[in-house]
Amino acid sequence: MRDADLPPPRVAVAADVPALRALIDDSARGLSVGFYTPAEIDAAATYVFGVDTQLVADGTYFVVDAPDGPAAAGGWSARRTLYGGDQMKAAEDPRLDPATEPARIRAFFVHPRWARRGLARAIYAACAEAAWAAGFRAFELMATLPGEPFYRALGFEVVERVTTPLPGGVDVPFARMRRPIDPPDDSP
């Protein structure tokens, strides 16, 4: 159940980016303890986790606001990039074909103060509804180790385990996951 004291997810705008960067860093560092080593957390926070401003520009990134800033954020994408912030992109990010390719679930982060209150589930529901409306029938994502249990609870299945080599000789494990998108309750 979503925390009733907070508003529903809204679409992120460019002005949110600085606050989203802070949320992502707080979430990655606070919720990764026990899943990743300190070196893996630092490397992932520096080289992988971050805002993908293409999601914001596309209107597919959502934010749940708290009184003191974003409590949670996450989105979906109709583009090829599977994971990582702007710092991981070096080229164009072409669009996916909804008839043959899964949409992406991207960059879900919850502030540790707001963890386990249903905020990520509310964002996922907004993503699923929007992706379905855009013609997609499946999702794919790259899960962090702390995110994997959440995605399993949503019905995602691991299809591949990967390790991403990062600068400084740090290898960070992730899990590639997939699931079909459930049709909205009001669909035929």
* pLDDT given for residue 3 in this prediction: 57
Whole-angstrom distance, CA of residue 181 vs CA of residue 162: 23
DSSP label of 86? G
Which residue segments constitute the domains of the chain, with CATH numbers given?
Answer: 10-83+94-136 (3.40.630.30)
Task: Starting at the earlier edge strand, list the strands of the sheet with 61-66.
Answer: 10-11, 61-66, 69-77, 103-110, 138-143, 170-180, 157-166
What was the pLDDT predicted at 8?
96
Q: Which two tokens stand for residue 73?
A: 């954020």
Strand, coil or helix: 88: helix
Query: Is residue 82 helix, strand or coil?
Result: coil
Total-model pTM: 0.94
User: Are the beta carbons of 150 and 170 closer than 8 angstroms?
Assistant: no
**Chunked mean pLDDT (size 10), the chain, 188 residues:** 77 98 96 96 95 96 96 97 87 92 97 96 97 97 97 98 96 98 77
